Structure 1
Amino acid sequence: MRAIRRSRFRNTTLVTGSVLCAGLVLSACGSSGGTEDPADSAKSGGAGTVTVSTAKGEVEVPLKPARVAALDNTSFATLKAFGVKPVAVPKALLPKEGFEDWQNDDSIKDVGTHREPKFEALNASEPDLIIGGYRFSDHHDKLSKIAKTVDVAPSDEAADGYVASLRTQTETLGTVFGQEDKAKEIVAALDTARTDATGATQGESVFLAVASAGKIDNGASRINRLAEPLNLKNVLSAEGEDSTSVHNDSGLAPETVAKLDPDWVIMLDRDAAVGTEDGSEAIAAKTIVDGMEAWDKTTFRTKDQVVYLAEDFYLTEGIQAYTDAFAQVATAFDTAG
């Protein structure tokens, strides 16, 4: 678990680099260090600083920062639970439901996506702190030239795996925002749901699937994170694949899945979250599954043993999403007996 160390108030804090220069050149604008002035102190609430462990090492950040740019989509629900209103977010990565206030608030800058970030808009939002990482991890150095940036995103490479790192992320953000008690509640809910799901699974075989571009493919590279703590046997591994492989068509034949005949399917519906590449209406994962003739005699079809993750799971992937997913698994497996 990442270590967290508080420090007494110091007269040093973030200089946000909010002064725009003509024809903004990112590398020339902004600084992550410097001497604090009264305006900066007021902006961060004068609460002092806290040192947290991140993917880039220990970083000293403002305690209870007033102006936060939230780029890591796995942090959105937690920040909302803490009562944090960001000054900037990648609005295209916001789930369709639950974040309408952020989506429609013109005072919250839209910073594009990790594929096409709008650094000028981010700089103009004058953040005290940028919560980067995950999809934005490749931009860390550029983000750090705008404002203090932390990467506390969950990771498959974390010591105890992705799910455990969700706990660490939540606890760290709880410390930064002075919301330790709320963070404990969120973590406790995850632990309970995970324990329930582990107890409900008894070594059944499962196909971890993804619906993308109107097809069903191997989604183990993305949602094996969910199955790892459970008592399940995955019929198709993610060996040799990375998390972006859910975007691709591997050519997996329905007949291959039918031959493996898994007891269960856990389905990630990517199209439901982000739509189709050509803008056409997405075909629901359940419609595809129910219409697959090759699966007519499979165990999961005949027993209706398919768990469809929340439609926005691909865009959330944070601790609340995994808490809900574990609860879904526990309910489905308990009901099936």
Structure 2
Amino acid sequence: MKKKFIAILGMVMALSIGIMGCSNKGTESNGVAQDENKTVVVTDQNGEVEVPVNPKNVVVLDYGSLDIMNKLGVEPVALPKGSLPEYLSQYKDDKYVDLGSLKEFDLEKVNAAEPDLIIIEGRQEAYYEDLKKIAPVLYLGTVNNDIFASAENNAKILGKVFNKEEGVASELDSLNKRLEVVKSKVEENNSTALMTMFNEGSLSAYGLGSRYDMVYSKFGFKVVDETIESAKHGQEISFEYIKEKNPDYLLVLDRGAITGAQASVKEAMENELVKTTKAYENGNIVYVEPQAWYVGGSGLMAIDTIISDMETAIGIK
């Protein structure tokens, strides 16, 4: 009888240990094993915030963070699909809840998704308190127009949240090495550049301190005009201005390609005035990938594309 009791007791203990082991592992969802009841403190744009580790249901309102999550193999449950960059087109799939647009998203759908974490950027700042009532909010996005520093910081934060720090370090190391190669060649050639945006017939320029300051501060191009206003939508310019400044490289972002405008940016840009510039004569008018540069945000895939544009421009690839 005593032996039988011991055997039964052993079976009960083994079963209990098995159950405890399963609960410690957490639940598997969205490509990661959720660490139940485990949290981590990170610093976002509002300061220190405590968020869950490997959250099961993640709502993402920031394409830069979505981009980073894609690289890390972590899936969201819901996102705004209104202006998804082509390199994130896989998220148009119906298995992801469509929340609308970056600025006009559906709060009821966010709530219905039962998120464990909500990730936002500057466009949703006004909704921060409302979203915080639903789930912990991580406020990332771009700080001080520096998408490179912001992407690095955001990737490190998300690496901690999703236990993917090693993968983040590898991605950042690769991007930084490529960036240094481009910058070294640009500075060696002492090249000047003018960053412009073409928007349905209007033209604007971006200089130091602007949202495209990276052309000068990260890639090493010399600005052709240090007095360009650092306005959000750039400083309005004319084709005569481009002829006068005569840059070695003319970088063109076609915003119409994002909004659906059909005007030919190349036909408009390469007119008789622009054809007199060094940029045209040397084949250095560069039409950058608009989605990565304009809506991609501070993401690893966006930066990869931006660096690729510069590598192509200066003949590295």
TM over 0.5: yes
> What is the Cα-based RMSD across aligned positions, in Å?
2.4
What is the CA distance between 1:193 and its match in structure 2?
1.8
* Identity %, equivalent residues: 26
Correspondence for 2:199: 212
2:289 to 310, 313, 331: 310
Structure number with bigger Rg = 2
8 A Cα contact 1:208 1:267, kept in partner: yes
CA–CA separation in structure 1 for the residues paired with 2:256 and 2:91: 22
CA–CA separation in structure 2 for the residues paired with 1:142 and 1:296: 52
What is the DSSP-based 3-state SS (H/G/I as helix, E as strand, rest coil) of the residue aligned with 1:113? Answer: coil
8 A Cα contact 1:130 1:150, kept in partner: yes
Instruction: Determine if the alignment matches structure 1 residue 58 to structure 2 residue 41.
Output: no
CA–CA separation in structure 2 for the residues paired with 1:238 and 1:323: 29
Letter in 2 for 1:92: G
What is the CA distance between 1:47 and its match in structure 2?
6.0
Correspondence for 1:298: 277
**Gaps spanning 5+ residues in structure 2: where?**
1-22
What is the CA distance between 1:335 and its match in structure 2?
5.8
8 A Cα contact 1:64 1:178, kept in partner: yes
Correspondence for 2:69: 79
What is the DSSP-based 3-state SS (H/G/I as helix, E as strand, rest coil) of the residue aligned with 2:290? Answer: coil
The one-character-per-residue Cα deviations of 1:6-41 (angstroms, maximum 9, x if unpaired) are xxxxxxxxxxxxxxxxxxxxxxxxxxxxxxxx9xx8
What is the DSSP-based 3-state SS (H/G/I as helix, E as strand, rest coil) of the residue aligned with 1:266? Answer: strand
Q: 1:238 to 1:189 in 2, by over 3 A?
A: farther
Q: Please list, as runs of the form range in 1=range in 2, the aligned pairs for 1:244-255 lying within 5 A after superposition.
A: 245-246=233-234, 251-255=236-240
Correspondence for 2:90: 101
Instruction: Determine if the alignment matches structure 1 residue 287 to structure 2 residue 297.
Output: no
Aligned residues: 282
8 A Cα contact 2:71 2:301, kept in partner: no
Correspondence for 1:167: 152
Q: 1:251 to 1:242 in 2, by over 3 A?
A: closer
CA–CA separation in structure 1 for the residues paired with 2:227 and 2:38: 44
Letter in 2 for 1:205: T
Correspondence for 1:228: 217
Q: 1:216 to 1:109 in 2, by over 3 A?
A: same
Letter in 2 for 1:233: K
2:133 to 140, 145, 150: 145
CA–CA separation in structure 1 for the residues paired with 2:127 and 2:40: 23
CA–CA separation in structure 2 for the residues paired with 1:125 and 1:226: 39
CA–CA separation in structure 1 for the residues paired with 2:87 and 2:175: 19
What is the DSSP-based 3-state SS (H/G/I as helix, E as strand, rest coil) of the residue aligned with 1:223? Answer: coil
8 A Cα contact 2:206 2:230, kept in partner: no
What is the DSSP-based 3-state SS (H/G/I as helix, E as strand, rest coil) of the residue aligned with 2:104? Answer: coil
What is the DSSP-based 3-state SS (H/G/I as helix, E as strand, rest coil) of the residue aligned with 1:64? Answer: coil
The one-character-per-residue Cα deviations of 1:96-123 (angstroms, maximum 9, x if unpaired) are x233332122x42222224322111111
What is the CA distance between 1:217 and its match in structure 2?
1.9
Correspondence for 1:323: 304
TM-score by length of 1: 0.76
Tell me which moved more, 121-130 or 232-241: 232-241
Tell me which moved more, 211-220 or 255-264: 211-220
Correspondence for 2:117: 129
The one-character-per-residue Cα deviations of 1:232-282 (angstroms, maximum 9, x if unpaired) are 111245754333x15xxx541110111111111122222212324xxxx2x
Correspondence for 1:117: 105
| Structure number having the greater helix percentage | 2
